[in-house]
Amino acid sequence: MDTFLQQMVNGLTAGSVYAVVALGYTMVYGIIQLINFAHGEVVMIGAMVAFSVINLLVPSGLPPLAIVLIGAGCAVPICMLVGYGMERLAYRPLRHAPRLAPLITAIGVSIILQHIALMIWSRNILAFPQIIPSRSYFIGGAAITTIQIAILAICFMLMASLAILVYRTPLGTAMRATAQNPQVAGLMGIDINRVIAVTFILGAGLGAVAGVLFGTYYGIAQYTMGSVLGLKAFSAAVLGGIGNIPGAMLGGVLLGVVEALGAGYIGDFTDVCAWGVPLAACEGGGTFILFGSNYQDVFAFLVLILVLVFRPQGLLGERVGDRA
Amino acid sequence: MRFFDTRGKPWLVWLGFALVGLALALLPFALAQAGTTWVRIMNYTILYVMLALGLNIVVGFAGLLDLGYIAFYAVGAYAYALLASPQFGLHLPFWLILPIGAAVAALFGVLLGAPTLKLRGDYLAIVTLGFGEIIRIFLNNMSRPVNITNGPQGITRIDPFSFGTFNFARPDTVLGIDVSGPIKYYYLLLLVALAIIVVNLRLQNSRIGRAWEAIREDEIAARAMGIDTRNLKLLAFAMGASFGGVAGGMFSAIQGFISPESFVLVESIMVVSMVVLGGMGNIWGVILGALLLSFVPEILRWTVTPVQEALFGRMMVEPEVIRMLLFGLALVLVMLFRPAGLLPSAVRKRELEEHVA
């Protein structure tokens, strides 16, 4: 039971970060049906910028919380700029091209961003300075740290404010209108290009915050972190129903929990000794584990493939005839 | 546009073939003058040509964007490594393993194809990408509880190709000419690559090739015309994968050592870039793309470092980084300015001309 609760806590934390990243994918997809392949790299750049700023400010003696906030405050506008730049240069000219074309430029942009980051921050794994004092609280046998609480709170706030923005403001209405029918939205006086650019910028801003959270939570950042994180967040978006904002939130949290529980229990479930198979390795309470927790990363992909095969519209998505 | 008018002069075509053949036959000796490294680079280039041609079947002919193609290369490479190395103490001959590797890779191709038949375009791309990562994660972790792949350390001391007493790894003297190991591999690779090119050319205008083209252009219409889209898509995956498997087996033998590091996502993307840059669906374009993207970065590698040292006194940007930046830029710029590739396939060219007219 302790493992279960602990993995739930860990899964919820990771999942809420996935959810925030997934929002970036889903917003862009909802509006122009493009998988912004480079979104993971935006998250990475967010983490990297924050890393540099935090490292720079640590000797200044400012309070730790302020340092992290300044780090995030620098990461967000830079990522927004990157998001806007890539929409403008790589995606907008191809808006009416065949579907494969913007996908391929997205891959190109992703490689370029990754290697620019490699040039600036080297290929080493960077250790985030652990400046926020971490305390653990115990709830029913599971430990939850201050950082985890902060991440859950920040992600929840971000999601809530995005929901308000999309469903309660004129800008949100314009976004939803553009998603439904860009031509008609244009006829109604909505500047579609502006709305699409704003969508990219918002997604990138969310991604930047997610990058900072991810970096402080796991304590590391590397120029390659964006691709796996991006892929997981994309899986989360598909799980919830791509293009659907509440879906991305649900999908992210679910994926985090599935992954954490999977990693926690796969070893026990694939222990051949526990199945009662008499093996030499099992003598005296030994184990013979087929798949250990090092297969954790496989879960996201399995979820992705299973969802696409059995329920391509995702949990909350609507059935669309000939999408993709 | 025709550079040479060969109509009524069939001997010109044969002369052309003979000249190209002679050039290809002499190439390794010319490269060896600049150093055996360049022969090796040429060998890897031919491997990339094979990979690009294999992927071209999936992406170019059938229009299914596969971002995990390197997984089949990995399957072929590991199949060879496991059956011809001290890992299991097996040392089967290469002409037996290569077909096995191709078959296993084809099986994996079907494994990937079967659940993704309904998906198209971007969804398919992401799933194939995930598939490639899953294969890599498995290769990385299958050292416990039973050591199959030796994990991240990879498999070492893989047998080179040998045929009786003729060993491809050792230098030899044939008809009074000194032939080094890489040159021997060059000829073998060239033969296999030529075979793959011929298969591709024959496929393109066959019943199967035209059916793939129909699926690529409009799957629903193709099905309405009585094309068995399910089997043909699976066939595209299987055939593309089997070429990747053969290339992987040869890679394994030439290198003598493999590890999961060689089969990362970036490699898949590199092969995709070759196909896209050259011109999806055009065999000669794809070959050109593979040659360009494997050779130019190597030339850069040899020039960038001295130039930087002369200019700044030290190396500012690693050549590897420049290489990857070039790949990324090539993808973006080709899509923006020449979406059909450097040498567009006939069908795409026709479409573009129709739009103009």
* pLDDT mean over A143-169: 92
Answer whether A24's CB lies under 8 Å from A245's CB. no
A288 min Cα distance to partner chain B (Å): 6
- The SS3 call for residue A124 is coil
Residue A136 belongs to what H/E stretch?
strand A136-139
* Residue B3: CB atoms within 10 Å: 5
A36 to A27, A40, A86, A231: CA distances (angstroms): 10, 9, 10, 11
Long-range contact list for B11-19, CB < 8 A, 24+ apart? Answer: none
Does the beta-carbon distance from A107 to B272 stay under 8 Å?
Answer: yes
Chain B nearest-CA distance from A5, in A, is 27
Distance separating alpha carbons of residues B119 and A310, to the nearest angstrom: 11
Q: How far apart are CA B81 and CA B74, in angstroms?
A: 10
Q: pLDDT tens across B163-218, in order?
A: 777 777 777 777 767 777 788 888 889 999 999 999 999 998 899 999 999 998 88
CA distance B254 to A115: 29
pLDDT digits (tens, 9 = 90+) for A285-322: 677 777 777 787 888 888 888 888 788 788 887 655 44
Which of A72-86, A248-262, B79-93, B218-232 is predicted least confidently?
B79-93
**pLDDT in the model for residue B339:** 80
SS (H, E, C) chain B: CCCCCCCCCHHHHHHHHHHHHHHHHHHHHHHHHHCHHHHHHHHHHHHHHHHHHHHHHHHHHCCCCCCCCHHHHHHHHHHHHHHEECCCCEECCHHHHHHHHHHHHHHHHHHHHHHHCCCCHHHHHHHHHHHHHHHHHHHHHCCCCCCCCCHHHCECCCCCCEECCEECCCCEEECCEEECHHHHHHHHHHHHHHHHHHHHHHHHCCHHHHHHHHHHHCHHHHHHCCCCHHHHHHHHHHHHHHHHHHHHHHHHHHHCCECHHHHCHHHHHHHHHHHHHHCCCCHHHHHHHHHHHHHHHHHHHHHHHHHHHHHHCCCCCCHHHHHHHHHHHHHHHHHHHCCCCCCCCHHHHHHHHHHHC
Lowest mean pLDDT among A163-177, A194-208, B150-164: B150-164
Residues of A in contact with B139 (CB under 8 A): none
B145: preceding bond cis by omega (within 30 degrees): yes
Secondary structure (3-state) at A62: coil
pLDDT in tens, A50-109: 999 999 998 888 888 889 899 999 999 999 999 999 999 999 998 888 777 888 898 899
Among chain B residues, the shortest Cα distance to A298 is held by B134
> How do strand B166-167 and strand B162-163 relate by DSSP bridges?
antiparallel
- Does the distance separating the beta carbons of B269 and A107 come in below 8 Å? yes
**Closest approach of chain B CAs to the CA of A168, in angstroms?**
31
CA distances to A52, B168, B203, B207, B342 from B350, in Å: 52, 45, 20, 20, 15
Q: What percent of chain A has pLDDT over 90?
A: 48
Q: Which residues of A touch B67 (CB under 8 A)?
A: 107
First to last CA, chain B: 18
How far, in Å, CA of B305 to CA of B323, rounded?
Answer: 12
Interatomic CA distance for residues B211 and B222, integer angstroms? 7
ipTM above 0.85, yes or no: no
d(CA A218, CA A196): 32
* Dihedral pair phi/psi, residue B67, rounded to 5°: -100, 10
Measured between CA atoms, the residue of chain B closest to residue A103 is B122
User: What's residue A85's pLDDT?
Assistant: 94
Calpha distance A301→A236 (Å, rounded): 10
In order of A134, A286, B56, B163, the CA distances from B243 in angstroms are 53, 43, 10, 22
CB proximity under 8 Å: A 212-251 to B: 227-228, 231, 234-235, 238
Token couple for B216: 């690529």
Query: What six digits make up the tokens of B86?
Result: 């001290």
DSSP, collapsed to helix, strand or coil, labels residue A291 as coil
How far off is chain A from B40, nearest CA to CA, in Å? 26
- Cβ within 8 Å, pair B327-A35: no
Position of tokens 């040159």? B183
Q: Judge contact between A37 and A109, C-beta under 8 A.
A: yes
pLDDT of residue A323: 41
Task: Give percent above pLDDT 90 in chain B.
Answer: 28
* β-pair partners for B174: B177
Cβ neighbours of residue A90 closer than 8 Å, sequence gap 6 or more: A102, A105, A106, A108, A109, B332, B336
User: Chain B interface, mutation test: which of A29, A95, A100, most B Cβ atoms within 10 Å?
Assistant: A100
Helix (H, G, I), strand (E, B) or coil at A144: strand
- CA distance linking residue A128 with residue A5, whole number of Å: 27
Chain B residues whose CB is inside 8 A of the A111 CB are 266, 269, 324-325, 327-328, 331
Residues β-bridged to residue B155 = B258
The residue in chain B having the minimum alpha-carbon distance to the alpha carbon of residue A91 is B336
Q: Does A117 or B35 have the greater pLDDT score?
A: A117
Give domain limits for chain A: 2-310
CB contact under 8 A, A108 and B335: yes
Q: 3-class DSSP state for residue A192?
A: helix
What topology is assigned to A2-310 in CATH?
ABC transporter involved in vitamin B12 uptake, BtuC (1.10.3470)
Q: What is the pLDDT of residue B353?
A: 54
Between chains, do A308 and B119 touch, taking CB under 8 Å as contact?
yes
Rounded Cα distance, A154 and A143, in Å: 19
- Tell me the pLDDT tens digit for each residue of A217-256: 988 899 989 888 988 998 899 899 888 889 999 999 999 9
Whole-number Å distance between alpha carbons of B115 and B339? 30
Question: Which residue from B minimizes the CA distance to A120?
Answer: B317
Tell me which DSSP letter residue A92 carries: G
- What is the C-alpha separation between A314 and A62, in angstroms, rounded? 45
What type of residue sits at position A125?
A: I
Q: Is the pLDDT of residue B290 over 60?
A: yes
pLDDT in the model for residue B236: 93
- Residue A324, classed as helix, strand or coil, is coil
pLDDT value of position B30: 81
Report how far residue B162's alpha carbon sits from residue B62's, in angstroms, rounded to the nearest whole number.
Answer: 36
Task: Give the pLDDT of residue A285.
Answer: 67
- Has residue A324 got a pLDDT over 50? no
Mean pLDDT to the nearest integer, B216-224:
89
* Nearest CA-CA distance, residue B121 and chain A, Å: 5
Kindly state the tokens that stand for A42.
Answer: 């935006």
How far, in Å, CA of B250 to CA of B81, rounded?
10
Task: Report the pLDDT averaged over residues B115-139.
Answer: 83
In chain A, which ranges are continuous DSSP H helix? 2-32, 39-57, 64-86, 100-121, 146-168, 170-180, 182-187, 192-218, 225-240, 245-269, 296-310
Q: Which CATH class is domain B10-356?
A: mainly alpha
The CA distance from A185 to A170, in Å, is: 13
CB atoms within 10 A of CB A136: 11
> For residue A45, is pLDDT > 90?
yes
CB < 8 Å to A90, chain B: 332, 336
Q: Are A104 and B341 in contact (CB under 8 A)?
A: no
pLDDT of the residue at B176: 65
Cβ neighbours of A295 in B, within 8 Å: 137, 141
CA distance A104 to chain B (A): 7
On average, the pLDDT of chain B sits at: 84
> Does pTM surpass 0.90?
no
Classify A290 as helix, strand or coil. Answer: coil
